């Protein structure tokens, strides 16, 4: 374990003790004595005592109002529990007990109880009724999930020592005795926390510092920490010594699959070479195939084997070593020869494969695109008013910049990294964002048509919306982006349940009314040169990679993406496979395949048709029909053709002949139109694009 981890462990322990609140009734009484001596009236109601008010985060009339600089906006704000509710990033940073907390304590050394109370208020009912020397509050983020014994053990130590420390006559006769004993108490608490954690090392209560110190003594496994659950970590902690001493055994391999891959939903399959006799009468030799069998997650991936040719198997392994690709033809010829004339009809290989799909980004609206567009939309409309602190990676200088201007700096870095030097700052496009003010039920029904969108359906569509308050913290933006992301999927599932073409198109278009696209002006700058000069940025010495890195840091800071720490399935698959390979036989290798939606599978204009009278896309119609109903996507050329009454001949396929009195009914996602073809025009044919759905309708079906 390196010195950085050791320093963090000690720093977190000190922060934990600093944020602990231990009730000491003698302090409340001593405080009252001081107030009475200063001729300040003290009530018998303990809710008005300064000690209990401070523990609840309330200012006593004799307290000094504390003022801090908001990390969210850069403005001077009163340090109160009410104000901090609107400055989430500020509250989070001070609650850590680190740099900002220490500076505040140094500025107001006479109000530590009030500071802790503001950061973590304790209700009067809890403080007044609590026993003396009870630990009332602590930073729960600094006590790990498995350290359920830490506070109780610490409480027993405190109870055992307070008899000697506080329950003596010196507390009454000596004014400084209480202060001295309190200093000794808190100094003891730090020692006891360290002692408890050291005592519980190598048990299920081990602090993560000891857990990863032990695991990393067998290899650099802490780099995979983010991809592992707490159960996987503790299993590895308990068994890693045995695994290192028993490499290459099938039993240990199976245990790794069972406890590392399967809990992480990572599939693994093996390949065996088998002889196929399907063409043996023609070729006089068997054909070697490779059978793929799943080793875990059978219920999800099935037991049915898959067979691939030798060439496919060779190609799968090309990325395993740099010399594989130029020698593919040699390997293929050798493998075919050895496979055909093998003395065994079935042979195991040392090739494993993990092939899976990640549906997280397999649609048009990814979480990142939602966060990006909401940043633009909410900042441009005055809902997102925060400032973010970014650090220049070259100079190390901190900048606190409004989120509107940070967008243009981010965009400049992106364009500049591609060799483009923008000059003029234009308005910014946003796409598919949740509207600040939603449409009414009546507007939703009018969009899809009252006959198709009943009040209950319209209410269900509108229910997937919440008002967004004016905010300054990036934490709120990422939380809101998650919410909008969920609404989008819920709306898609809502209209996807309708298989009738007309109904589904109308419901889909109605849900789109809940979202907006457009352009907005961000900030007051009109050119990039002035913007960069004002904030003293000089990117002339930056490489393209450094510009992209800084842009990514800006994006994470502004959108709160740095708090979204869950790794992608691709990273998780790679990490868990690497752990397994590091603890297995060195002679096996694993092929990793991940389809995570690089090619978006969602086709926005694709329609699922349930009405059997619909013929479908790409079908041809011949003959004369009086009425024809068509479905075409928005902006399809067919709409313009019908409006102009221009016949279009397509000689490569039969055409639908339309009579002189035909009525063509065209359904588009946002409206319903009827076109009457005048008598005498008599068009002979109309071209139907491949994306058009066609059906013949009867006279009585028309409204």
Q: What does 311-357 look like in DSSP terms, one character per residue?
A: HHHHHHTGGGSTTTTTTHHHHHHHHHHHHHT-S-SEEEEEEEEEEEE
Cα-only R_g, the chain: 35
Pair of tokens at residue 304: 């049915």
Is 264 in a helix, a strand, or coil? Answer: coil
Query: What is the model's pLDDT at position 678?
Result: 36
pLDDT the model gives residue 231: 92
Query: What's the distance, Cα to Cα, between the start and end of the chain in Å?
Result: 77
With a cut of 70, list the residues of the chain below it in pLDDT.
1-3, 96-98, 165-175, 177, 358-364, 563-566, 586, 595-703
> What residue segments make up the domains of the chain, in order of their start?
3-199, 218-358+574-595, 367-563, 624-701
With beta carbons less than 8 A apart as the criterion, state whether 290 and 267 touch: no
Which runs of E-coded beta strand occur in 502-550?
515-520
Residue 314 and residue 229: Cα distance in Å, rounded?
35
Q: Give the global pTM.
A: 0.62
pLDDT digits (tens, 9 = 90+) for 579-594: 888 888 767 788 877 7
Q: What is the pLDDT of residue 484?
A: 92
User: What is the phi-psi region of residue 275: left when phi exceeds 0, alpha when psi lies from -120 to 50, beta otherwise?
Assistant: beta
Residue 530 has a pLDDT of: 93
Residue 72: closest CA among 328, 346, 337, 386: 386
Three-state DSSP state, 681: coil
According to the model, what pLDDT value does residue 288 have?
Answer: 87
Mean pLDDT of the chain: 78
Quote the pLDDT of residue 404.
93
Phi, psi (degrees; rounded to nearest 5) at 445? -65, -40
Which residues lie below 8 Å from residue 61, measured CB to CB, with a gap of 6+? none
CA dist., res. 150 & res. 460, Å (int): 48
């Amino acid at each position: 374990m390196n010195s950085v981890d050791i320093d963090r462990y000690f720093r977190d322990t000190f922060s934990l003790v600093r944020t602990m609140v231990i009730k000491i009734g003698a302090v409340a009484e001593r405080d009252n004595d001081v107030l009475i001596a200063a001729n300040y009236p003290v009530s018998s109601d303990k809710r008005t005592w300064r000690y209990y008010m401070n523990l609840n985060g309330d200012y006593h009339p004799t307290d000094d109002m504390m003022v801090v600089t908001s990390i969210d906006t850069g403005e001077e704000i009163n340090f109160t529990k009410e104000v901090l509710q609107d400055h989430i990033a500020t509250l989070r940073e001070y609650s850590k007990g680190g740099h900002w907390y220490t500076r505040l304590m140094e500025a107001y050394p006479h109000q530590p109880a009030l500071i802790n109370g503001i950061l973590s208020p304790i209700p009067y009912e809890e403080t007044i009724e609590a026993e003396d020397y009870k630990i009332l509050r602590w930073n729960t983020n600094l006590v790990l999930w498995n350290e359920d014994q830490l506070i109780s053990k610490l409480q027993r130590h405190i109870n055992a020592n307070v008899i000697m420390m506080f329950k003596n006559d010196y507390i009454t006769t000596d004014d400084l005795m209480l202060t001295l004993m309190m200093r000794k108490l808190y100094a003891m608490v730090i020692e006891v926390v360290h002692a408890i954690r050291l005592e519980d090392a190598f048990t299920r209560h081990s602090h993560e510092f000891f857990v990863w110190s032990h695991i990393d003594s067998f290899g650099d496994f802490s780099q995979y920490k983010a991809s592992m659950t707490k159960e996987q970590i503790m299993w590895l902690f308990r068994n890693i010594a045995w695994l290192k001493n028993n490499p290459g055994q099938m039993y240990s391999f199976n245990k790794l699959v069972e406890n590392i891959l399967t809990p992480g939903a990572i599939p693994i399959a093996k390949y065996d070479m088998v002889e196929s006799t399907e063409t043996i009468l023609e070729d006089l030799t068997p054909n070697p195939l490779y059978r793929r069998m799943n080793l875990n997650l059978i219920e999800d991936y099935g037991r049915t084997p898959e067979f691939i040719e030798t060439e496919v198997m060779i190609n799968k392994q090309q990325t395993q070593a740099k010399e594989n690709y130029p020698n593919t033809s040699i390997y293929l010829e050798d493998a075919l020869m050895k496979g055909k004339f093998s003395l065994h009809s079935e042979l195991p290989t040392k090739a494993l494969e993990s092939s899976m799909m990640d549906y997280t980004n397999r649609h048009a609206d990814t979480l990142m695109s939602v966060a990006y567009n909401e940043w633009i939309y909410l900042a441009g409309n005055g809902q997102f008013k925060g400032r973010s602190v970014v650090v220049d990676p070259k100079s190390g200088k901190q900048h606190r910049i409004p989120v509107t201007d940070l967008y243009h700096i981010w965009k400049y870095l992106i364009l500049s990294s591609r060799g483009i030097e923008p000059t003029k700052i234009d308005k910014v496009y946003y796409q598919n964002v949740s509207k600040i003010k939603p449409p009414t039920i009546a507007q939703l029904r009018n969009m899809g048509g009252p006959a198709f969108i009943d009040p209950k359906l319209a209410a269900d569509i509108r229910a997937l919306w919440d008002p967004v308050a004016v905010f300054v913290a990036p934490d709120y933006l990422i939380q809101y982006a998650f919410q909008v992301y969920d609404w989008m999927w819920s709306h898609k599932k809502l209209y996807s349940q309708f298989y009738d073409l007309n109904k589904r198109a109308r419901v889909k278009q109605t849900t789109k009314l809940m979202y907006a696209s457009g352009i907005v002006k961000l900030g007051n700058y009109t050119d990039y040169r002035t913007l960069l000069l004002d904030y003293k940025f000089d990117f002339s010495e930056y490489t393209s990679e450094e510009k992209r890195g800084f842009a990514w840091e800006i994006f994470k800071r502004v959108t709160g993406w740095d708090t979204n720490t869950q790794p992608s399935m691709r990273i998780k698959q790679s990490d868990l496979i690497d752990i397994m390979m590091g603890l297995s036989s060195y002679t096996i290798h694993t092929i990793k395949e991940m389809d995570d939606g690089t090619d978006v599978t969602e086709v926005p204009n694709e329609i699922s048709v349930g009405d059997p009278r619909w013929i479908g896309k790409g079908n041809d119609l011949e003959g004369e029909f009086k009425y024809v109903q068509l479905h075409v996507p928005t902006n399809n050329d067919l709409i313009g053709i019908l409006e102009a009454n221009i016949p279009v001949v397509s000689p490569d396929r039969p055409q639908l002949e339309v009579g002189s009195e035909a009525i063509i009914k065209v359904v588009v996602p946002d409206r319903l139109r009827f076109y009457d073809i005048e008598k005498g025009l008599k068009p002979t044919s109309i071209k139907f694009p491949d994306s058009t759905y066609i059906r013949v309708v009867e006279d009585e079906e028309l409204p």
